[in-house]
A and B are shown apart, each in its own frame.
Chain A
Amino acid sequence: MSPLKVAVDTVGVAEATPDEKQPWAELGLKEDEYQRIREILGRRPTQSELAMYSIMWSEHCSYKSSKVHLRQFGQKNPKTPRLLAGIGENAGVIAIDDHVAVTFKVESHNHPSYVEPKQGAATGVGGIIRDIIAMGARPIAVMDSLRFGAIDHPDTARVLPGVVDGIGHYGNCVGLPNIGGETYFDPCYQGNPLVNALSVGVLPRERLQSMQASGVGNTVILLGAKTGRDGIGGVSVLASATFSESGEDDARPSVQVGDPFTEKLLIEVCLELFDAGLVVGVQDLGGAGLTCALSETAAAGDGGMHVDLELVPLRAKGMEPHDILASESQERMLLIVDPAKAEEVLERSRRWGLLATEIGTVTDSGRLVVDFHGQTVVDVPPKSLADEGPVYNRPIAEPNDLGLIAVDRAETLPRPTTDAEIRQTVLDMAASPNLCDKSWITEQYDPSVFGNTVLGAPHDAGVVRLDERTGVGIAISLDGNGRFARLDPYTGAQLALAEAYRNVAVTGATPIAVSDCLNFGSPEDPHVMWQFERAVTGIADGCQQLGIPVTGGNVSFYNQTGRDAIHPTPVIGVLGVIDDVRQRIPLGLGRTGDTIALIGTTAEELSGSEWASVTHGHLGGVPPKVDLDHEMRLAELLSRLAKTEQLAAAHDLSDGGLAQTLVEAICHSGLGAQILLPEGADPFVYLFSESSGRVLVVIPRGQELAVRSACEQRGLPITPLGVTDANTDGLHLRDHFDITRAELEASWKGRIGARLGE
């Protein structure tokens, strides 16, 4: 007789031993949560069931602290016929036209990327790609938003190269172009770096897939990699708790290990199966592995499923049922298939060299039953795992220091006054970690596979062609600003939304949808919950006003070490559509003799700015004002001017203000810029203020009047600033100073590698 049979905790054993002590607290469950499980089952849970509840009821899977606030998205989302699938699905799906849809989502992999940077970041990319496949789409691009501690901190030299290597390794090998993103440094992320990965995919509308396990008698197939011991406890231990201050807990075994080659096969096999109409339901296995996929598909479908767990192919010996159910081994998908078509599914998988195994059947029992070598180890109502987890309305309290911070305004800080000082500030800012050239990072990513990347890094947004015949394409930007959100989470979240929206518009595309990744400290801290509530409200209100829906996203809590939480950091992804990518507006300076102008208004807004941070290490005051109505008119203008081809180039103003925008435009083109600031303007404020809603545009000769009148019609202020000039070496700021191209490039380029000691 097998020794396993003695050890396994079956339903029968659980019924016979009601008083057996169980490690619910160690698994992260609260006492009342454990009691609720006993009530649901009418007995104590088996070891496997306890593991499943602890995972599905974790913060990461159940959204138990955020749910009450996230409801706002559903309540305030503008109604649009474009939205084919929204919040609650693996990823939101947006119609592009009558035939084609796009699906996109941003998700965090913060905790694993700190513990094991390369694999943590790599599997973050792998996970978001599978969400896209699960909707029936072919993934077509990835993007990432990264935040690290101080660039000079020794641990940043461990985390950053590992994260970049992981993102590059996975994305490059699986064959997806990386079309941009952002990288920031701030000491608040030292022990809690943020790795937010976005993927976007395209599908014919009729190929949209569902996660329902429907059709009694249908076969449940596990596709992809074998199941091992990696990632056990990933969601409940890693992602749903705070790192301890001692830093002694070694959580590396909780991090999964990725294999992008298998993922590439998984993409090709899944799409082939979808196209052949062989799949009834599909769900990816990510955080929470089989536990999540089985309970979610069963709960969404006809309500029952029977699984024989010993059929799951394993890559480690001696795995017990609860290990198999909890494993977060990567590159796996669960398929629900008509039994008559099962053989064809297995055959097509074999052709690609991918493992596919029948492991169970859809039932109408209303129960998820899991047997292991003929013994029942799980017998639960699947909805109790997937949909009926605990919901907490946690205490909220405005932070005590908010008033003090608001009056500590950066506008009162000492500032450069002479031309020589301002000139030096332009160079110092261009060389600072958040503003300097990021090509040390982006060169490690493949930007061009598929041959459809129209704009990639360092453009404001990535632009991808969907159809070579019509030229229709999409634009995506991913933006956040933790400092602004720390000063005022409502406004800070809206500033991030406005920036991502504007970055999409700057390419000539029309913004149509939002995905968000909400990175915060511990929800058990009422101050953090206050930040969270304000940020969510800001996004929901903002999207309502802009008329674009939030289609999904992810919440990452517990980004804190001991009592030190990160700045609240909502990262916003905005998706836009452009009718013809040939009309996209690029970065740069156009042709010599073109006019440079600024659309928008510059106010004295320096609080939370890059300048205050770089030169004074200061964070205080109130963030810049947001005017979403202005942003909508600006976006409409840019889309119009793209269609009429009346702009040669455009570039958003954000971190570092006008000075940084000019530096980037000059470094990206072969031309120089002659700039004359408006009369009466304070050169320092004009160059470094971070007022929102501004875009630098380059207008081809002969179009100045038309562009000016288009701005006036929309009530958008436009200020001519100068001309582009092939004979000007770098930046000529009339009446103030000159900076040569060589000086600009020496400051701006090569900084990241040098400061990491490479």
Chain B
Amino acid sequence: MTARIGIVTFPGSLDDRDAARAVHLAGGEPVALWHDDAQIYGVDAVYLPGGFSYGDALRSGAIARFSQVMDTIKAAAAQGMPVLGVCNGFQVLCESHMLPGALTRNAHLRYRSRPQRLRVETGRTAWTNAFPDGAEVLIPVKHGEGRYVADEATLDELEAAGRVVFRYLDNPNGSMRDIAGVSNEAGNVVGLMPHPEHAVEALIGPSTDGLGVVASVLAHLSEGAAR
């Protein structure tokens, strides 16, 4: 059975269509979810896309955190449902305390978009099992507030527990320890600043490495179904 991946549209979400295309190309079924609707209609996983939810008023992701749908997603994630947050979605996961740390203004104070080289530090998450540990990938970044920060103890803990999932090879924003993405303890919730959904077609993106992220969760879900 085709896995159903929910994609949330907040007011100001921008990459929701791209996320749906990525899910479709990887062989999943995209399901549109609405910020103001607490129902998630039995989806198997959730993809929080990039954009500027609620105009990024207050702080990026600060208001989306309080939306109806996030309460349901948070509860489902605690039960093991895979959740991916990309860019603004990553910011929402941090604001919701589903992931540690915060994303602040880029160190150079400018928005920056470019194809970005990354290392996948661990294949032991629901969203990276298709990659060998240490795989190098090319996935676009585009953000003004993507500098990952956390206190030293948290960073040490993340490193020790293998929860730093993606690391920049040439840091575009001043993130601490070059961190591009992290996971929760269980590995089912992952957030990253680069955009896998913009690297799914050879004609359009700089690579097709982003497909591996969606392929990973599909594999993770079918494994769970088989068990």
Residues of A within 8 A of B (CB): 165, 168-169, 172-173, 175, 259-262, 264-265, 351-353, 439, 443-454, 465, 468, 581-582
Contact A450 B54 (CB under 8 A): no
Is B201 touching A443 in the complex (CB atoms < 8 A)? no
CB distance from B195 to the nearest CB of A (A): 7
Interface hit among B12-20, B72-80, B155-163: B12-20
Contacts of A168 in B (CB 8 A): 111
Say whether B55 faces chain A, with CB atoms less than 8 Å apart: yes
Q: Among the listed A259, A351, A443, which residue makes an inter-chain contact with B112, where contact means beta carbons less than 8 Å apart?
A: A443
The docked-state distance in angstroms from the alpha carbon of A168 to that of B111 is 8
Give the number of A-B contacts (CB < 8 Å). 82
Known: A264-B12, A439-B114. 7 other contacts (CB 8 A): A173-B55, A261-B57, A265-B11, A443-B110, A443-B113, A449-B15, A582-B203
A175 touching B113 by the CB < 8 A rule? no
Range class of the B interface residue count: 20 to 34
With a CB–CB cut-off of 8 A, which chain B residues contact A445?
A: 111, 113
Residue of A nearest to B108 (CB): A758
Chain A residues within an 8 Å CB radius of B200: 451
Q: Are A261 and B112 in contact (CB under 8 A)?
A: no
Closest to A581 in B: B203
Find chain B residues with CB under 8 A from A581 CB: 203
- A351 contacts which chain B residues (CB < 8 A)? 36
B51 at interface, CB cutoff 8 A:
yes
Quick one: which of A439, A451, A454 contacts B198, CB cutoff 8 A? A451
Q: Which residue of A lies closest to B19 (CB)?
A: A451
Judge if B204 is at the interface, Cβ distance under 8 Å: yes
Interface check B117, CB cutoff 8 A: no
Residues of B within 8 A of A582 (CB): 203
Q: Which residues from chain B sit less than 8 Å from chain A, CB to CB?
A: 11-12, 14-15, 17-18, 21, 36, 51-52, 54-57, 110-114, 140, 142, 144, 195, 197-198, 200-201, 203-205
Given A168-B111, A444-B110: A449 touches B55 (CB 8 Å cut-off): no
Complexed CA–CA distance, A562 and B107 (Å): 41
Whether B111 contacts A444 by the Cβ 8 Å rule is yes
- Asked whether, in the complex, the Cβ of A454 is within 8 Å of the Cβ of B203, the reply is yes
Residues of B within 8 A of A259 (CB): 55
Residues of B near A452 (CB, < 8 A) are 204
Chain B nearest CB, measured from A240 CB (Å): 33
Nearest chain A CB to B30's CB is how many angstroms away? 13
Bound CA–CA A581/B201 (angstroms): 13
* Most central of A449, A453, A454 by chain B CB within 10 Å: A449
Q: What are the residues of chain B within 8 A of A444 when measuring CB–CB?
A: 110-113
Nearest neighbor of B197 in chain A, beta-carbon distance: A451
Are the C-beta atoms of B21 and A446 separated by less than 8 Å? no
A695 CA to B108 CA in the complex, in Å? 38
Query: Assuming the A-B contacts A259-B55, A582-B203, are A449 and B18 also in contact, with contact meaning beta carbons closer than 8 angstroms in the complex?
Result: yes
Q: Per a CB cutoff under 8 Å, which of A172, A352, A465 touches B142?
A: A172
Our pick among A353, A450, A454 for the contact of B11 (Cβ within 8 Å) is A353
Residue of B nearest to A265 (CB): B11
Residues on the A chain within 8 Å of B201, using CB: 451
Give the chain B neighbours of A450 by CB distance below 8 A: 17-18
How far is it, in angstroms, between the C-alpha of A172 and the C-alpha of B52 when the chains are bound?
Answer: 9
Which residues of the other chain, A, contact B52 by a CB distance below 8 angstroms?
172-173, 260-261, 264
Can you list 15 A-B contacts with CB-CB less than 8 angstroms, sorted by A residue number? A173-B12, A175-B15, A259-B55, A264-B14, A351-B36, A443-B111, A444-B110, A444-B111, A444-B113, A445-B111, A448-B195, A450-B17, A451-B204, A451-B205, A454-B203
**Across chains A and B, which 3 residue pairs bring their CB atoms closest together, nearest first?**
A261-B55, A175-B14, A451-B18
Tell me the complex Cα distance, A456–B75, Å: 41
Question: In the assembled complex, which residues on chain A have CB atoms less than 8 Å from the CB atom of B12?
Answer: 173, 261, 264-265
State how many angstroms separate the Cβ of B97 from the closest Cβ of chain A. 25
Q: Which residue of A lies closest to B13 (CB)?
A: A175
Contact indicator B198/A448 (Cβ below 8 Å): yes
B142 touches A446 (CB 8 A): yes
State the CA gap A41–B55 with chains docked (Å). Answer: 45
Q: Which residue of A lies closest to B115 (CB)?
A: A448
| Cross-chain contact A454 with B204 (CB below 8 angstroms) | yes
Among the interface residues A265, A444, A453, which one has the most CB atoms of the partner chain B within 10 A? A444
| Contact residue among B15, B114, B204 (Cβ-Cβ distance under 8 Å from A443) | B114
Docked Cα-Cα span, A449 to B203, in Å, equals 15
Task: Judge whether A446 and B113 touch: CB under 8 Å.
Answer: yes
Contact B205 A448 (CB under 8 A): yes
